[in-house]
Structure 1
């Protein structure tokens, strides 16, 4: 039996505590082995479900431990690229939260180091590991809705009261587009396999962060429109509208948190086929895919090149946006 991949976490982030650390702990082929935090009190919730967790008082100390195979990085956005590169240089595989970089060209150093080292480095873009997205991609490729005509996406929540949240701070790479725009953009790219040829956008700013972004784009085979906001009532949805059918994902991004993941296939005659995924945990599936790639050399579903492509679109959205 193969030794589980020994994973260490840089920082006791809330998201790591509530979602990714439990997913690592539960994943087949993985072991939650270590956490780096200068505040030992922040380690206690992690130790409550992983009693043998080793705690380091600095990120560098964890990276120096020879027993750690891979690093998960849930740090503030502006620190992702720096610590991903440090972890690769320390000989560790890397799974880093999105956005992995603040600009697309920052991926180049990561790709170069990945290739030089032979290590796996990936953005923690969990939705591609969920079976609802794999089904949607297959249905589109198989022609279940005929020629694809238009794609719409929406993702919103309201965190205005959480003033200390890194998403509400410009200096930590906050704003809605980097945090959740990756989903409405990357989801369309993943499901269709196409890249936008033109992009138009409008942004509403508040305290130097984007709180609402509207995007319109032309892909080679279809048109696209989406919006994201961190100042609106919670909502999420992706719709792929074809000439002879429609695919709707009702909980495309926060499955089991926002609601049950469902894929609706709307067919002629008002027929609707619904596929439900009540138990699928995309965080756990992501960790298991990451570990399979490390152990067995399996192709990873979301390589850095894909994540770079999404960041390229985000860069274009920022660069060409009109202010609302």
Structure 2
């Protein structure tokens, strides 16, 4: 292997074109080298920012490309596990979009393949790479808000397009798989705790997918409440409320789309401190962390075991649905 990672993208998804393709192209110690798609029209959107890109006509051709070290997978949710396993068996490192799997148990096969092949495999859970989340975790662990009592998390956008994969049950659609990973996983990331019990669910469904999910969960030392929706006005926020203060993230999951990333701290005297993160790109940081892990052996900040824990909470929510 050279001193950089040669990346290929499996499928010309719009998100890959708009976000992850440019991030791979911009990240240090990596090169976006190839794309697998049979659509000349779709490939043009990628060659526009990566002119030397090789385009393979099918997915297997990309996996068999000896000049590719790592594969990014932005396919529909129900295809993630299968193609992650195929890429690992082809000797490639894999960064797969979230949710990597649709049930907790499916992570076991991926973890086993990672360990068997010696390749890095990870879910593309980009938020943990953003400095606002690293700072939020440090503040919490340093006792900035005292003992945590409750977490309230919100993430909503509007998408009622029946042809969109997020609105199809057969492709793993729904607000919980798509954005529940953020409100559940970020709570686990900051606190280091796991849910003990789902105490309430109120879930609305349309065409077999959840379009709104209000959830309350008991963690060992606090109560979590939150909602996700794909049928509400765009909004996101998460609040950690403790005995000695409040920590609020104003654009926790899509900074620069939902506004500037900020951590607003309010102490017991109602004094407010605002920490701002105006320009950090968590997609680029995610790719750079992946590159460093492969090239240097640096521990990856979001291992599969963490992602499996978030899926375990999703499974608990769905099992508790009344």
Distance 1:88 1:199 in 2: 35
Structure 1 segments, 4+ long, off by >3 Å, are none
* Partner-residue secondary structure (3-state), 2:299: coil
Distance 1:268 1:242 in 2: 9
With normalisation by structure 2, the TM-score equals 0.98
Number of residue pairs the alignment of both structures matches: 321
3-state SS of 1:234 partner = strand
**Displacement, 1:39?**
0.8
Residue equivalent to 1:49: 49
Give the corresponding residue for 1:218: 218
Could you say which residue in structure 2 is the equivalent of 1:32?
32
**Residue of structure 1 in register with 2:313 after alignment:** 313
Task: Determine helix, strand or coil for the equivalent of 1:253.
Answer: coil
The whole-number CA distance in structure 1 between the counterparts of 2:305 and 2:217 is 21
2:170 aligned residue = 171
* Distance in 1 separating the partners of 2:244 and 2:50: 50
Q: Does 1:18 align with 2:45?
A: no
Secondary structure, aligned partner of 2:269: helix
What is the CA–CA distance in structure 2 between the aligned matches of 1:109 and 1:89, rounded to whole Å? 12
Offset at residue 118 of structure 1 (A)? 1.0
- Structure 1's unaligned 5+ residue stretches are none
RMSD: 1.0
Query: Structure 2 CA distance, aligned partners of 1:170 and 1:10?
Result: 22
Tell me the SS of whatever aligns to 2:119.
coil
The aligned residue for residue 253 of structure 1 is: 253
Report the secondary structure of 1:284's partner residue: helix
* 1:2 to partner: Cα distance: 5.5
How far apart in 1 are the matches of 2:125 and 2:170? 23
Residue number in structure 2 paired with 1:128: 128
Shift of 1:163: 2.3
- CA offset at residue 269 of structure 1? 2.0
Distance 1:54 1:283 in 2: 22
SS for the counterpart of 1:316 is: helix
> How far is the alpha carbon of 1:63 from its aligned partner?
0.2
TM, length-normalised to structure 1: 0.98
CA shift at 1:124, angstroms? 0.0
Q: What residue in structure 1 maps to residue 233 of structure 2?
A: 233
Aligned pairs for 1:74-223 (under 5 A) are 74-160=74-160, 162-200=161-199, 201-223=201-223
Aligned to 1:273: 273
Runs of 5+ consecutive residues of structure 2 not aligned to the other structure? none
TM superposition shift of 1:116: 1.1
